[in-house]
Chain A
Amino acid sequence: MKRVFVTVGTTSFDELIERVTTPEATQALKARGYQHLVLQVGRGSILPDSDSCHELTLEVFRFKDSIAEDIKCADLVISHAGAGSCLETLGAGKPLLVVVNDQLMNNHQLELADQLYQDAHLLYCTPSTLIETLKMMDLSVLSPFLPGKPKNFADFLDKALGVQ
């Protein structure tokens, strides 16, 4: 069963939750073969009812200690632009669509999402272009995100500090 996981992080992002549960959005997801939609809504005021969606089976929760399992089980992750969620999703090798909260401009967290978008590791949209993006997006253009190389750091430090 193909799953979509939507995460808003530690705060709230009602506009994303609202848009992604519109009939138009869920139809677009169904047309792509997704059957299950999991929403992590944080402190948001919108808590969709699991019966409210006819196209997909819906699961909603506010917070969990770790969303690693939800990411692992997902075939597509739709996330806010938070660095933690982006890195965790890409680290797990999952296709990622970042929805930027345009009401939070000048947030330094956007720097990373923007760079990762330029390097074609994720797709990028705003709540108002979400539905269109879900219809038109091509996940095959995404390039894999290779893990960083802490060994380079360790080698440099060993040399600089004279470790034998």
Chain B
Amino acid sequence: MLHNAFASLTDLSKPVAVVAMALLLGLGVFAGLCLTVFCFVVRLVIVIRSGSKCKPGKKGPISVLVVAGSGGHTTEILRLMDSLSQSYSPRHYVIADTDKMSEDKIRTFESTKDGRVSEGRFTIQRIPRSREVRQSWGSSVVSTLNALLYALPLVFRLRPDLVLCNGPGTCVPLCVAGLLLGLLGLKKVLIVYVESVCRVESLSLSGRILYYLSDYFFVQWSTLKEKYPKSIYLGRIV
């Protein structure tokens, strides 16, 4: 019976069989892709949703990856760092490799934080800048991907409990790298985003992306809280 069916199948004219096989194969690949994307999205949602249950503070010191930007971004994030207790240690500061000012600011800040410098409690890491001011969107995508190549090994090596950032372009690839650690089940990295105080009515480009990917998203003006209900508003915090 089976043999007969097989024989009749081979009896079919060759082109029809080839087309049928190709169609089946295509359908299989497509279904496989859909399933992969579906699984990926489900996993992504699970990882992002798991943020509120993640309490690294219960286990001891929290290692932090601090994404400093340039100029105003660095000043703002250092004000936030100043408010955090010694439970947040070690602190790894990431700066863009073209940024000379931020390193000085960070070193000055760390040396005055508790009036004593102790090497090893903080480090400074450099990655290529992902987006220069006024760079076009197209070339931004390319340089962001380039920055991701540097961000991935950095985040995988440091495995921070927390990524803290406030909007420089560099923070998107770093947060994506942190998210990937969670997706692979290696470690849940909490993403904390604080939108700059300069943003009153609209989010920055990084903010618009990380609103969906972060675990805690802070805004500093009530207008933004109304527009982005998932955000956290505690008044001005810098």
Contacts and interface: CB of A to CB of B under 8 A. Distances in A.
B225 to A, nearest CB: 14
Given A115-B221, A148-B220, A158 B200 contact: no
B236 interface: yes
A163 B83 CA distance: 14
A87 B73 CA distance: 12
Give me the 5 closest cross-chain CB pairs, A-B, nearest first.
A162-B55, A150-B83, A163-B57, A148-B236, A83-B198
22 contacts: A83-B197, A84-B75, A87-B72, A111-B198, A111-B199, A111-B200, A111-B202, A112-B199, A112-B200, A115-B200, A148-B79, A149-B234, A149-B235, A149-B237, A150-B80, A154-B83, A156-B234, A160-B52, A161-B55, A162-B57, A163-B57, A164-B58
A115 B80 CA distance: 22
Nearest to A114: B200
Contacts of B52: 160
Contacts of B57: 158, 161-164
Interface string A106-127: 0011011011000000000000
A151 interface: yes
A163 B62 contact: yes
Task: Give the contact-size bracket for chain A.
Answer: 20 to 34
Interface string B199-221: 11110100000000000101011
A112 B75 CA distance: 16
Interface of A: 83-84, 87, 108-109, 111-112, 114-115, 148-154, 156-158, 160-164
A117 to B, nearest CB: 11
A80 to B, nearest CB: 14
B238 A148 contact: yes
A75 to B, nearest CB: 24
A71 B234 CA distance: 29
B82 interface: yes
Nearest to A118: B200
Contacts of A153: 80, 83, 194, 218, 234, 237
B135 to A, nearest CB: 16
A148 B162 CA distance: 23
Of A149, A152, A153, A162, the most chain B CB neighbours within 10 A belong to: A153
Contact of A162 (B56, B85, B200, B234): B56
Interface string B150-162: 0000000000011
B118 interface: no
Interface residues of B: mostly helix, strand, loop or mixed?
Answer: loop
A84 B71 CA distance: 8
A93 to B, nearest CB: 16
A148 B52 CA distance: 26
A84 B221 contact: no
Contacts of A158: 57, 85, 87
A108 B236 contact: no
B85 A163 contact: yes
Contacts of B204: 108
A161 B61 CA distance: 11
Nearest to A84: B72
A47 B232 CA distance: 46
Given A108-B198, A160-B52, 20 more contacts: A83-B197, A84-B72, A111-B199, A112-B197, A148-B235, A149-B234, A149-B235, A149-B236, A150-B83, A150-B238, A151-B83, A152-B235, A152-B237, A153-B83, A153-B234, A154-B85, A157-B216, A158-B87, A162-B58, A163-B87
